Amino acid sequence: MARMKSTAFYDRRAEAERAADELARRLGLDRALVRVHAAPGGAGADEEGGLLDWLARIWRPEADFLPPEDRELLGEGLRRGGAVLSAEIQEGDLARAERVLEAHGAVDLAARALAWRGDAPAREGTAAAGPRVRSYPWDAPTTGAPTGPAGPPRV
């Protein structure tokens, strides 16, 4: 069965950590395969190198593969204090993983971006619902650092 990389955005690191713990517990995953990435001490886009460069450094190779618009949204979310959860899972566990991550507060990042720009109310569910969890094929060893994605994102 193919390995997948699933990602979800959370407003706060603590929410992402709780979701990561629960995902690992429910799916029987090694917690090392479920990572949470958040800006250190409120790193901002105006710092040397910028937040997107920081994201690319700490979240390689995932960050290299993300479409530019997703990188920008994640960068803005991280700048605002949010966190990104990424997990290596089996393709057959996608639906269960999505349910766990959504139940623990995964954010519809596209709808949130509209709210940040003032194009829509900030409340969840007020804009057209988009995916809160994104998954794509992942060519990675079961231990050690990931080697990179094997195909386009699935949403």
Question: Could you read off the pLDDT of 73-117 as tens digits, one per residue?
Answer: 877 888 888 998 989 889 899 999 999 999 999 999 888 888 888
How many angstroms separate the CA atoms of 80 and 9, rounded?
12
pLDDT at 127: 46
Whether residue 151 is contained in a domain is answered as no
Q: Quote the number of domains for the chain.
A: 1
Provide the terminal-to-terminal Cα distance of the chain, rounded to the nearest Å: 19
pLDDT at 78: 84
Domain that holds residue 104: 3-137
Mean pLDDT estimate for the chain? 74
Question: The pTM is what?
Answer: 0.72
Whether residue 80 is contained in a domain is answered as yes
Whether residue 149 is contained in a domain is answered as no
Whether residue 153 is contained in a domain is answered as no
Residues 132-155: what's their mean pLDDT?
Answer: 48
